[in-house]
Amino acid sequence: MTLARPRVFAALMLVLIFTFTAPLAGADAPISVEVERAADKAYVVDAAFDVDAPSQIVWEVLTDYEGISRFVSSIRQSAVKQREPGRVLLEQHGVGRAWIFSMPMHVVLDVREHDQRLLAFRDTCGKSFTSYEGAWELASVGARTRVTYHLKAAPTGGQPAALTRAAMRGNVKRLLEEVRAEILARAAR
């Protein structure tokens, strides 16, 4: 009977430790990023993370089109060119990084907003990519929000496939880390 008390105490301590550290998991939860090369030579990116914030705050961050350069390091300039209900035409200038190399990027995104749950986008200018389209999707999971990012992109130019794939993975992971950090900062206010 004396062995039961230390086990109960240890179990209670684990529950308490988990309970009080669980809110911190929003910043440390892993971000999954998968990059594959499609048959048409485009790169397909599937990425996701969970965050301890309501979907309204996540949506607010994702639709902060003109403020994105404040919290996403790869975006140098982002300007709304046209806005109508459920649709935004957005011009962005940025830089992609691959180890010591950097590549300027320019897109004009036709963004479609659906029910504060889905942002679908497609590049219409074709300067940096022969094709570039994707989506951000939000799903509530209790008090948390699951953010999923999909992208299919074919960069212009002849970068080596291994270099491009690794660079895309790193750039997307950094993008999602920075977006999640901004979501958590706004949720804390």
- State the DSSP string of the chain: -TTHHHHHHHHHHHHHHHHHHGGGHHHHS--EEEEEE-TTS-EEEEEEEEESS-HHHHHHHHT-TTTGGGT-TTEEEEEEEEEETTEEEEEEEEEEEETTEEEEEEEEEEEEEETTTEEEEEESS-SSEEEEEEEEEEEEETTEEEEEEEEEEEESS---HHHHHHHHHHHHHHHHHHHHHHHHHHHH-
User: 64 or 19: whose pLDDT is higher?
Assistant: 64
- The pTM (predicted TM-score) of the whole model is 0.82
For 47-85, write each residue's pLDDT tens digit. Answer: 999 999 999 999 999 999 999 999 999 999 999 999 999
Q: What percent of the chain has pLDDT over 70?
A: 84
For 21-33, write each residue's pLDDT tens digit.
Answer: 333 444 567 999 9
State the sign of the Cα–Cα–Cα–Cα dihedral 125, 130, 42, 78: negative
Q: What is the pLDDT of residue 101?
A: 74
State mean pLDDT over 180-188.
97
Strand partners for 80:
90
Phi (first) and psi of residue 73, to 5 degrees: -65, -25
Between CA 123 and CA 82 the distance in angstroms is 14
Extract the tokens encoding 11. Answer: 């179990």
Report, as an integer, the average pLDDT of 34-44: 93
Residues 6+ apart with CB under 8 A from 56: 116
pLDDT tens for 93-119 read: 999 877 777 889 999 999 999 999 999
